[in-house]
Amino acid sequence: MNVTTASRHARIRALGEHRPAGVLTNSEIAAGGLDTTDEWIRTRTGIDRRHVAGAEETVVTMATEAAAKALAAAGLDARDVDLVVLATCTMRNAIPGGAARIATALGAGPVGAFDVNAACGGFCYALSVAADAVRSGSANRVLVIGAEKLTDWLDWTDRGTCILFGDGAAAAIVEASDEPGIGPVAWGSDGAGAELVGVPDGDWAIRMDGPAVFRWATTQLGPVARRAVDLAGIEMGDLAAFVPHQANLRIVDALVRALKLPDTVVVARDIADTGNTSAASVPLALARLVATGDVQSGDHALLLAFGAGLTYAGQVIRVP
């Protein structure tokens, strides 16, 4: 056996995003008869509106759109990719997964393709797996996509869940590099919290004990973020950006306080017009920071994702 890749690193080369054209405001939800108000949703969650996929749009079509944009941004062709990893928890059917169809739709050829389901934690899990595949030499260039059609799984009479979620997809191209561009992952899980959020047996929609998930996220995830920063060998003050999962603006703000982030750190607050898009939330928020110029190429950004399972994962990356 000849291992020649021992010192190879991985980086994100480019990003692409797809936000569905349909938009649903809080006021529209309230006008539909749900016992809620625009003010309650805005003040308790930070959400003002969310993108909603059309009937013809699926996890696979949204993921393909985002991936095509990431390839175009990198000036690459789908045949330059040799692995596709899709992070999602909202496919309509458990089998087949979506990654192979995305690869085919892009024209990637017979590449490796599989799905990762770590719910809202999924993108950071998939990114870690992709970086490891590149570092080990199992792959040279990987398309990592977070894509969700959460509105397929919402009960529009359940005000504890339906106001929170939206649809969308974002993709990252991960490839080999001379310098580390994706830090070691800090990840973990707590299956004892499995009942707190998910689709219960015999049900069809997402149900959630919101306050319990809120308490868990605001009390348990600070140390995970700190571990990711330690593993990257940097200090909190070296970060240019913090890109946490967009579950609730009050969770984002609580994490910022717990981490005592300096004011110099840009914090992703994509949730206002995106809602919670589960595995798509971290890459969508990162793509927006890049698009708006709030972060620069080479900056350190801390990604932190968490959700049903319970699962969580975070790592420091260099902004593409």
Residue with Cβ nearer ligand UT7 (248 or 315): 248
Pick the closest to residue 284 from 76, 137, 70 (CA basis): 70
* 157 half-sphere exposure, CB direction, 13 A CA radius: 0
145 Cβ neighbours under 8 A, 6+ residues apart: 63, 66, 67, 84, 85, 86, 87, 99, 102, 126, 169, 170, 171, 172, 283
Q: In the bound complex, what is the minimum distance in angstroms from residue 260's beta carbon to ligand UT7?
A: 22
Q: In the bound complex, what is the minimum distance in angstroms from residue 278's beta carbon to ligand UT7?
A: 6
Question: Any catalytic annotation for residue 120?
Answer: yes
Residue with Cβ nearer ligand UT7 (111 or 285): 285
Pick the closest to residue 153 from 89, 206, 203, 105 (CA basis): 206
Q: How far apart are CA 244 and CA 255, in angstroms?
A: 9
Helix then strand then coil, in percent of the chain rounded to 5, is 40, 25, 35
Q: In the bound complex, what is the minimum distance in angstroms from residue 23's beta carbon to ligand UT7?
A: 18
Question: Any catalytic annotation for residue 300?
Answer: no
Residue with Cβ nearer ligand UT7 (88 or 276): 276
Question: Which H helix or E strand runs over 38?
Answer: helix 38-45
142 Cβ neighbours under 8 A, 6+ residues apart: 81, 82, 83, 84, 85, 130, 133, 134, 173, 174, 175
Does residue 186 bind ligand UT7 (CB under 6 A)? no
* 146-175 binders of ligand UT7 (CB under 6 A): 159-160, 163
Task: Work out which of 127, 232, 241, 247 binds ligand UT7, going by CB under 6 A.
Answer: 247
* 44-103 binders of ligand UT7 (CB under 6 A): 44-45
Residue whose CB is nearest to ligand UT7 in the complex, by number: 210
Residue with Cβ nearer ligand UT7 (5 or 157): 157
Q: Which one is catalytic: 120, 124, 162, 300?
A: 120
Question: Any catalytic annotation for residue 124?
Answer: no
CA distances, 27 to each of 30, 48, 233, 274, 297 (Å) = 5, 9, 46, 15, 38
* 97-136 binders of ligand UT7 (CB under 6 A): 120
Residues touching ligand UT7: how many (CB under 6 A)? 20
Residue with Cβ nearer ligand UT7 (126 or 197): 197
Task: Work out which of 155, 214, 231, 272 binds ligand UT7, going by CB under 6 A.
Answer: 214
Q: In the bound complex, what is the minimum distance in angstroms from residue 35's beta carbon to ligand UT7?
A: 6
Q: Write out the catalytic residue numbers.
A: 120, 245, 276
